[in-house]
Structure 1
Amino acid sequence: MKIRTEEGRTFFYFLLLAAFVVSYFLLQDYLATIVFSVVVVVMFKPAFDLFRKWFRGRETPATLATVVLISLTLLIPLFLIINITVNQAIEFQQQLSTLVVGKNVNLTNVITHINRLLASVPYLDRYQLTEAEIVENVRGIVEPVATFLANKAVSIGSSSAEWVAKIIIFLSIIAVLFPGYERFIQLLKDLSPLDDRLDQRYIDRMTVMTKSMVKGVFIIAFVQGVVTGIFFWIAGVPYVLF
């Protein structure tokens, strides 16, 4: 018995929907990584095309060069931020240790000045600060923070395997999609019941929207960070990143 095209297409879409549902439950922990990988491919596809021209149509070296470019683009700013944050955290810890353990003379001067102000205010002259109280309060603040950071470090260490899996998934997706981008787009067109020209129009609009959204988020975050950093610098706020 010959199966009609409409019935076969309906059955195929039903199987495709079932496959998507099963894939969602199996890969729900990695959906963000998958979406991020697709967005990265869309953003760096022009760079891949340029590298492919440089390597005379060879896709493997073009893919490797694009992966290196992505790594430099993403990892260098992240490394700089982590490096500055760690240095500021170390400096903060050293100054805090000097203040708490070393009993800095500046602390004594500040306490003396505050006690003089309290003594000159009616009804507050009976309140006097001591160095031991200040040290105890600082320790009460620092110890929970240190415990929180230690727990975070343990959590990061325990989730390292998950991060490795996400990195492998990310690299695998971009390594497959860059050389097979045109074939992937054509597959989407073949699966769509719409006309190919209409599909291409929707794909172009989604691509432009994705690029605009990523660029907009980056520009807003960059401008906000620069403006905030300038205000902190003018105000003399230390340990901005920490």
Structure 2
Amino acid sequence: MRDKLERRSFLILLVLVSIAFGFILEPFWGAIFWACAVSVIFAPLQRWVLSKIGERPNTAALLTLFALMAIVVIPVILLTSAFVSEGIQFYQRIEAGEIDPRQILQRLRDAFPWVDQLLVEFGVDTNNLKERLSQALMSASQFLAKETFTIGQNTFSFLVSLALMLYLTFFLLRDGKTLVNLIIKALPLGDEREHALFTKFAEVTRATVKGNLVVAIVQGALGGIIFWILDIPGPLLWGVVMAFLSLIPAVGAAIIWFPVSLYLYATGAWISATVLLAYGAIVIGLADNLLRPILVGRDTKLPDYVVLFSTIGGIVLFGINGFVIGPLVAALFMATWQIFMKDFNGEL
């Protein structure tokens, strides 16, 4: 009886201490998550370096970390700096009145009067709708500009998180295999099941991060290039925004280029508007429809609709980190149920 009580008491203590430790790490969850994700992605490179230089895990991890900084970190910092600079300029133009969202909306209404007539037939108060849309457009424009301004002000916080991520990444690259084996020993789920779940975690993380980032980079670059060719203000700013929005499957970058093409029609720039509309639908859209299923859906072994809903849900709940966390949770959910059907119901 006493042994049973002691065992239960210890398990309660274990849960409480684990929860308390989780709360302590809560401010660093973003850095910890990305350190784990990056370590999984660059683990093959680390193993290759280790095979070339011999049993020198510290050196191999350090060289892999330098490769990570050259391939990912430095380009992202340079791009973020340029993005913040253009975002601040955009914010200043809104504050100075050079960009007036209400005027943009009025031009769209004047160019497409049939929309007002259609709304009236459905009993919609167009005057009230105009005011609401104007306020929403103004709020969205100011939010975008202020967010980029905030990024510039929070540079120190970003650099601290980046440093913590790189620091932890070094140790995960060096000791990752040992840590995984330690976790497998600690968890009471069965070694075979734990290996299957860790394998699924690695597969989905690699596929989601690499796949979504490739799609985002391609769509953002394509969008920025066409904006630059058509002489639309802030091509780098809008290219980066389209890259972020492209993390949302199905719609993505169209949230930006489609309204801009409508505005170009409204201002009489028919050629530019037609070029942007065709380019967005064919070139940018094709990049999403071709690359995403190949890079994300196939490797994660998730249906397209599951990828869509899990990505959007992840972004809503976890912010930018959600584009990885959402599909990861969905994949682990399906993998866990497959293990359950196999082990407990005798079905595959």
TM-score normalized with structure 1 length: 0.63
AA aligned opposite 1:237: I
Describe the shift of the 1:23–1:236 C-alpha distance in structure 2 as closer, same or farther (beyond 3 A).
same
AA aligned opposite 1:53: S
- Partner of 2:161: helix, strand, or coil? helix
Describe the shift of the 1:87–1:197 C-alpha distance in structure 2 as closer, same or farther (beyond 3 A).
closer
Describe the shift of the 1:148–1:225 C-alpha distance in structure 2 as closer, same or farther (beyond 3 A).
closer
Number of aligned residue pairs: give it: 188
Describe the shift of the 1:47–1:13 C-alpha distance in structure 2 as closer, same or farther (beyond 3 A).
farther
- 2:192 corresponds to 1:197: yes
The 2-side partners of 1:52 and 1:230 are apart by 40
The 2-side partners of 1:37 and 1:185 are apart by 15
Structure 2 counterpart of 1:29, from 27, 37, 56: 27
Consecutive unaligned residues in structure 2, runs of 5 or more:
91-97, 99-141, 238-348
The 2-side partners of 1:153 and 1:202 are apart by 36
AA aligned opposite 1:180: D
Shift of 1:15: 3.3
Describe the shift of the 1:50–1:149 C-alpha distance in structure 2 as closer, same or farther (beyond 3 A).
closer
Describe the shift of the 1:153–1:36 C-alpha distance in structure 2 as closer, same or farther (beyond 3 A).
closer
Shift of 1:179: 1.7
Describe the shift of the 1:183–1:61 C-alpha distance in structure 2 as closer, same or farther (beyond 3 A).
same
The one-character-per-residue Cα deviations of 1:125-177 (angstroms, maximum 9, x if unpaired) are xxxxxxxxxxxxxxxxxxx99x96997488336xx2x4454234223321221
Percent identity of equivalent pairs = 23
Describe the shift of the 1:155–1:91 C-alpha distance in structure 2 as closer, same or farther (beyond 3 A).
closer
- 2:212 corresponds to 1:217: yes
The one-character-per-residue Cα deviations of 1:76-116 (angstroms, maximum 9, x if unpaired) are 32244246557868999xxxxxxx9xxxxxxxxxxxxxxxx
AA aligned opposite 1:173: L
AA aligned opposite 1:231: I
Describe the shift of the 1:2–1:86 C-alpha distance in structure 2 as closer, same or farther (beyond 3 A).
closer
Shift of 1:196: 1.2
Describe the shift of the 1:68–1:90 C-alpha distance in structure 2 as closer, same or farther (beyond 3 A).
same
Describe the shift of the 1:229–1:17 C-alpha distance in structure 2 as closer, same or farther (beyond 3 A).
same
Shift of 1:16: 3.3
Partner of 2:227: 232
Describe the shift of the 1:75–1:64 C-alpha distance in structure 2 as closer, same or farther (beyond 3 A).
same
Q: How does 1:1-242 map to 2 (within 5 A)?
A: 3=3, 8=7, 11=9, 13-82=11-80, 84-85=82-83, 152=150, 155-156=153-154, 160=156, 162-242=157-237
Shift of 1:191: 1.4
Shift of 1:185: 0.9
Deviates further, 14-23 or 181-190 = 14-23
TM-score normalized with structure 2 length: 0.46
- Partner of 2:200: helix, strand, or coil? helix
Q: Which has the higher contact order (CA 8 A, sep 6+)?
A: 1
The 1-side partners of 2:66 and 2:207 are apart by 23
**8 Å CA contact 2:83, 2:148 repeated in 1:** no
The 2-side partners of 1:197 and 1:41 are apart by 23
Shift of 1:45: 0.7
